[in-house]
């Protein structure tokens, strides 16, 4: 190895000092070397095979493959840091939107239960009106009361066993809280109507509150979507490469490389 180095050095000095007068110059490539030696006009220089143009060309290809202008942190350290912070914010916004959608789904499910409860109470009210008819005797009113009891039991079961994502729904609208358990159309048919009306009013207030909350969540989700879009666009401007500009840049770099290789080839043929 040492002997080879000495031979290469002697050859280099010989060509540099004895053939420098040759106007055409020459190119010398040592065996197994990763550089070329160009000499002529009393001067010489070492040209790396991985020239500056080729290095930039390879960087451009990496950017094109990844689609990112900052393919490595050395390209733009400050821009890379800003883009990473933006990515954290984007992940946070995305998760907040998911949370809001999940809660909104819960509110819609809850409203479905309340809507079904309203339907049952409306049926109880109608049965109260029916029991108030003057042609109904005690026996008929007892049959009507049996259906009312069944409806009240169904409402109780809905409130007791309804869950969302294995989480029990807890609302103060049990039959006892609504006063439905006080209905007795056998003794007082008209009381069923007033109790049902009061229960419907109470449920309407709850549904209105939950509906307003759901609407606010929808507005929040919409706002988060605009925020996400704007921030994502800003991040893209910092991180992502402009493919149109990069394509032009790659073509220019390719021309430079071909021209450089062509010049060296002509020198070597002389």
Q: How far apart are CA 231 and CA 91, in angstroms?
A: 11
Residue 178, classified by CB atoms within 10 Å of its CB into exposed (0-12), middle (13-18) or buried (19+), is buried
pLDDT reported for residue 236: 73
Cα–Cα distance measured from residue 240 to residue 235, given in angstroms and rounded to the nearest whole number: 8
Closest by CA to 268, choosing from 26, 39, 31, 35, is 26
Q: What is the mean pLDDT of the chain?
A: 75
Pick among 3.90.550.10, 3.40.50.720, 1.10.260.40, 1.20.1330.10: CATH of 77-239: 1.20.1330.10
For 120, the enclosing helix (H) or strand (E) is helix 77-131
CA distance 219 to 222: 5
- Average the pLDDT over 92-114 and give the result: 92
What confidence tier does 73 reach under pLDDT thresholds 50, 70, 90? low
Report pLDDT for 35: 46
Distance CA(80)–CA(191), nearest Å, equals: 73
Distance in angstroms (rounded) separating the CA atoms of residues 269 and 198 = 105
Report the candidate in 245, 251, 241, 260 with the shortest Cα–Cα distance to residue 67. 241
DSSP element (H, E) containing 38: strand 35-40
d(CA 190, CA 178): 17
Interatomic CA distance for residues 234 and 229, integer angstroms:
9
Domain ranges of the chain: 2-71+242-269, 77-239
Q: What percentage of the chain reaches a pLDDT higher than 90?
A: 37
> What does the CA dihedral 82, 88, 92, 93 come to, rounded to 10 degrees?
40
Nearest to 40 by CA among 59, 20, 61: 20
pLDDT score recorded for residue 180? 93
Tokens of 121: 């109470």
Please give the Cα distance from 242 to 106 (Å, whole number).
Answer: 43
pLDDT score, position 52: 61
What average pLDDT does this structure show over 57-63? 63
Helix 52-66 and helix 243-269: axis angle, to 10°?
150
Output the six-digit token pair for 49. 């095979």
User: How do residues 141-171 score in pLDDT, each as one tens digit?
Assistant: 999 999 999 999 999 998 888 888 888 888 7
Strand, helix or coil at 167?
A: strand
């Amino acid at each position: 190895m040492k002997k080879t180095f000495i031979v290469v050095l002697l050859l280099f000095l010989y060509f540099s000092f004895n053939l420098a007068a040759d106007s055409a110059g020459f190119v010398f490539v040592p065996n197994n070397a990763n550089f070329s030696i160009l000499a002529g006009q009393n001067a010489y220089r070492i040209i790396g095979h991985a020239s500056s143009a080729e290095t930039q060309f390879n960087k451009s290809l990496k950017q094109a493959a990844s689609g990112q202008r900052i393919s490595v942190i050395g390209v733009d350290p400050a821009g890379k840091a800003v883009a990473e912070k933006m990515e954290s914010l984007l992940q946070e916004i995305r998760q907040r939107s998911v949370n809001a959608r999940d809660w909104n789904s819960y509110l819609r499910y809850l409203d479905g239960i309340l809507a079904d409860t309203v339907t049952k109470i409306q049926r109880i009210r109608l049965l109260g009106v029916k029991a108030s008819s003057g042609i109904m005797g005690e026996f008929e009113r007892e049959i009507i009361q049996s259906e009312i009891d069944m409806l009240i039991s169904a409402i109780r079961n809905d409130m007791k066993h309804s869950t969302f994502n294995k989480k029990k729904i807890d609302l103060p609208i049990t039959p006892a809280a609504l006063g439905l358990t006080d209905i007795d159309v056998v003794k007082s048919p008209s009381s069923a109507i007033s109790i049902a009306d009061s229960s419907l009013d109470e449920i309407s207030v709850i549904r209105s509150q939950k509906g307003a909350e759901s609407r606010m969540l929808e507005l929040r989700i919409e706002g988060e979507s605009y925020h996400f879009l704007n921030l994502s666009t800003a991040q893209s401007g910092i991180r992502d490469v402009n493919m149109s500009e990069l394509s032009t840049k790659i073509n220019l770099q390719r021309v430079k490389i071909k021209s450089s290789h062509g010049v060296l080839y002509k020198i070597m043929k002389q």
